[in-house]
A and B are shown apart, each in its own frame.
Chain A
Amino acid sequence: MIEAGSFWRMFEWVGLTYLLVLNFAYFVLDLVSFAVLRRHRQRQTLSVLHNRYSNLELPVSLIIPAFNEEATVAATVRSLLQLNYARFEIVVVNDGSNDRTLDVLKTAFGLEPFPEVIRRQLQTKAIRGVYRSPSHPELKVIDKENGGKADALNAGINTAQYPLFCALDADGVLRPDSLQHVTKAFLDNPHTVATGGIIRVANGCDVVNGWIVRTALPKRPLPLLQVVEYCRAFLFGRLGWNPVNGVLVISGAFGVFHKETVIEVGGYRHSTIGEDMELVLRLHRVLSREGRPYSITFAPEPICWTEAPERLSVLRSQRIRWQRGLCESLWLNRELLFSRRGGWAGWVSFPFTFLFECLSPVVECLGLVYFIGGYLLGHVDVEIALAFLLVSVGFGTLLSASSLLLDETSYHTYPRPRQIVVLLIAAIVENLGYRQLTAYWRLIGLVQWTVGARQTWGEMKRTGSWTSELSTPPSPTTVARP
């Protein structure tokens, strides 16, 4: 029989060890990301020289699921029409919007009904109509009954005519060369089935006609903290898995996929919250099980900006949803875990994600309550409580700062010294409350998923307030390159 005191001592050490291992694992990912970025930049040398191959890019269908996006959808489509890419089409899928999304598109682009025969390879809700624009032949709008984002994406895949498709959020802001960067993996490696890129926070940036013309930091604290968080999540949370084909997440905000392979594995799953992660995990699971050579990679260039939540309530529901999506995706693809042919994805990335991303809110929240509460009640030694806080906050701050260093080494996104100072302060502040708060929300997500609570979609009403329109669109060459 273990004494109560011994049990709690053991609990304390398990908690501390978990945090140490977690931070060490992230530190290793961080180092790998530095190496990946260095090698990536070296390989870029040839791209700089061989511009002439830029017209050999594979054609891409950009699929934009739109649900109540009347505020931003027209500006997004306008900016996409100016993308610097050889051959692409834009497929906007109006997923039964209650607002004027379809009317806005009809008016802005002079859409006319088109008798399209749809190649129904993936099951979707009924299509009400297809529209094309005589002035923009590369634009197609699908109007369908509401079925959710996954359903809209599947409808887009059914109508896409090119071998690659790019899933893009309706409020996503790209660079003129974003597609070139992200599709390069398909040119370099014929076995590539999916690639994603770094998503940045657009709040605070100057966006004109759907283009970022000046990168700046958000003025409000909540999106500012998310800038650091996104840096950490994308720059080493994902890039670090690149060399071993272990990337498990490609953001739904911007990801490019090989269409036929996605159709083969069944497209996006309707019943999941995290349809983007679930699809990538399923690709890993199915392709590795079949022993097919494949590659899922991550392009380190900052290629897409998106609006981050500015209100706590919206952020809360977003994080709960993300955590539920994560749990659900891992559970649905648990067959990948330690599967014989699972490779790094099955043997390392999957258990890593389960242990350190799925379960971490439990340890972080319980640990925080236990150590602070225990210390206040006199049950926990001050040394242990301090050690817990130090590992949790100190390492977190260090990792956040190193992700800023990664960004500076590679893409120099924020050019002014003052911005770097602000971000370094944010990297500290982020660990003093914000991270703990998001851990709590993630814990709620985990609990909700475990008890099977009904899925509810937190709605983030896009205001489009950070975008503006000029009568004359800026030339893509004048658009700021971060």
Chain B
Amino acid sequence: MTLQHILLIGVLLTALYLAVVLQLFIVRFTNSVKARRRERIEREWLPLLAADADVSDAPLPELRHRDIVPFLTLWNQLQESFVGDIKTHLNAVGRRVGIKGISHRLLEGGRLSERLIAVSTLGHLGDRDSWDALVRMTSHEDGLLSLAAARALTRIDDAAALPVILPLAASRDDWSRNYVLGMLSDVGADIVSGPLTEAALMLPPDTAHRLVQYFTVAHVGDAVPVVRTIIGRTRNVECLAACLRAFADVDHLDTVRDYLQHPAWQVRVQAVNVLGRLGSTDDVKAILPLLSDPEWWVRYRAAKTLCALPDVELSMLRSLSTQHDDAFARDMLVHVLAEARA
């Protein structure tokens, strides 16, 4: 290695450093340009998009190519923020601008962010022409994109979307449970209830919990017989716990009482929770032994249930908290009674 080589490396490193510095200031400049563009779009379009009055004949500002993504972002944000007639108005303005064609183009060849925004736009527009493309996209390897496509389908035709979405909700591990729950809640129990419970029934019993966990958005009348059927077919702990969480059948509480002695604490705790929701003073006798359960959560939920049951006297629980044979049970009752006071 000669001094010349070293000098060359030094010059190269200095040049790279200066390139990074230059890039840093370019990024800063372009970010500020983008921010100003977003502000301009909001200034120009917000009064038109959020207008109460009919603006169907009003002249629209020019939408340049580089304005498309910030415009679509604003348009989608307004769609997400409002309910009612304004959505029709937003769609009308959107169609005048030509966002349907733009979104189709972005859907085919855009970057991930552009595809996400295109999917969302087509959903809000209720664009049936994009149905097939969106159905294909629900199987995309990117979980977020597939979930966004599912959401768009429910917006276009919620009833027709459910047969596409529900099998995926049961099989895709990368779909966030909470997002799916939110999506099904938005669709509403009247539409979701039947297809969801039927789809759960079609699954092998040990995997049915993947859909049973969404039964909170179903009508009780639809959910109850399905839960009762699945609970009779499975021994899977996760599935039993999910079924008990969704249990709302006052006439079949004997089934639940059987699970108070189940070997898995996850099942026992759900069973005692059901009695807390649906049980009566008749259940006190069955719940009391659970105050001495080896699992903390079962003891805690048993004590909470006793406090919550109708017609159970707090004075009885207070005396139990001092006289119970088991120290664990006594301590838990004291804890829960203190919580109740707080």
- Name A's B-contacting residues (CB within 8 A): 39, 41-46, 48-53, 56-58, 114-117, 119, 132, 134, 137, 187-191, 293, 382-384, 386-387, 390-391, 394-395, 397-398, 401-402, 404-405, 408-409, 412, 417, 420, 424
Complex: A115 Cα to B178 Cα, angstroms: 34
For the complex of A and B, the 7 pairs showing the least CB-CB separation, nearest first, are A42-B113, A119-B296, A56-B178, A394-B13, A42-B112, A45-B113, A117-B335
With A56-B181, A115-B331, A408-B27 already in contact, 18 other A-B pairs whose C-beta atoms are closer than 8 Å: A42-B111, A42-B112, A45-B117, A48-B73, A49-B120, A51-B80, A53-B179, A56-B178, A115-B338, A188-B174, A382-B3, A383-B1, A390-B9, A391-B9, A409-B27, A412-B31, A420-B25, A420-B28
For chain B, the count of residues having a C-beta within 8 Å of the partner chain is: 54
Is the CB–CB distance between B9 and A189 below 8 Å? no
B27 and A43 form a contact (CB under 8 A): no
Does any Cβ of A come within 8 Å of B53's Cβ?
A: no
- Bound CA span A402–B13, Å: 12
In the docked arrangement, what's the CA distance between A132 and B339, Å?
10
B133 lies within 8 A of chain A by Cβ: no
- Shortest C-beta distance, A146 to chain B (Å), equals 25
Q: Kindly name the residue among B16, B113, B182, B335 whose own CB sees the greatest number of chain A CB atoms within 10 A.
A: B113
Q: Are B1 and A52 in contact (CB under 8 A)?
A: no
Q: Which of B124-168 contact A (CB under 8 A)?
A: 143-144, 148, 151
Question: Which residues of A sit under 8 angstroms from B144, Cβ to Cβ?
Answer: 43, 46, 188
Q: Are B182 and A56 in contact (CB under 8 A)?
A: yes
How does the 8 Å CB contact mask read for B4-31 relative to A, with 1 for contact and 0 for none?
A: 0110011001101100110111011001
Interface residues of B (CB under 8 A from A): 1-3, 5-6, 9-10, 13-14, 16-17, 20-21, 23-25, 27-28, 31, 73, 76-77, 80-81, 111-113, 116-117, 120, 143-144, 148, 151, 173-174, 176-179, 181-182, 186, 296-297, 299-300, 328, 331-332, 334-335, 338, 342
| A394 CA / B11 CA spacing, docked (Å) | 10
Contact B13 A398 (CB under 8 A): yes
Report A122 CB to chain B, min CB distance, Å. Answer: 13
Provide 24 A-B residue pairs closer than 8 Å at the C-beta atoms, listed in order of the A residue: A39-B112, A44-B113, A46-B144, A48-B77, A51-B81, A56-B182, A57-B178, A114-B342, A117-B332, A119-B296, A119-B297, A189-B143, A189-B174, A190-B173, A383-B1, A386-B3, A394-B13, A394-B17, A397-B17, A398-B20, A401-B21, A405-B27, A408-B24, A412-B31
Q: Are B13 and A390 in contact (CB under 8 A)?
A: yes
Contact across chains for B10 and A390 when beta carbons are under 8 A apart: yes
Do residues B178 and A387 form an inter-chain contact, with CB atoms below 8 A? no
- B331 smallest CB distance to A (angstroms): 5
Q: Is the interface of A mostly helix, strand, loop or mixed?
A: helix
Contacts of A114 in B (CB 8 A): 335, 338, 342
CB distance from A141 to the nearest CB of B (A): 14
Q: Is the CB of A190 within 8 A of B31?
A: no
- B116 CB contact (under 8 Å) in A46, A58, A391, A402: A46
Given contacts A45-B116, A49-B73, A189-B174, A117 and B179 within 8 Å (CB-CB): no
Rounded to whole Å, the gap between the CB of B228 and the closest CB of chain A is 27
Q: Which residue of B lies closest to A16 (CB)?
A: B1
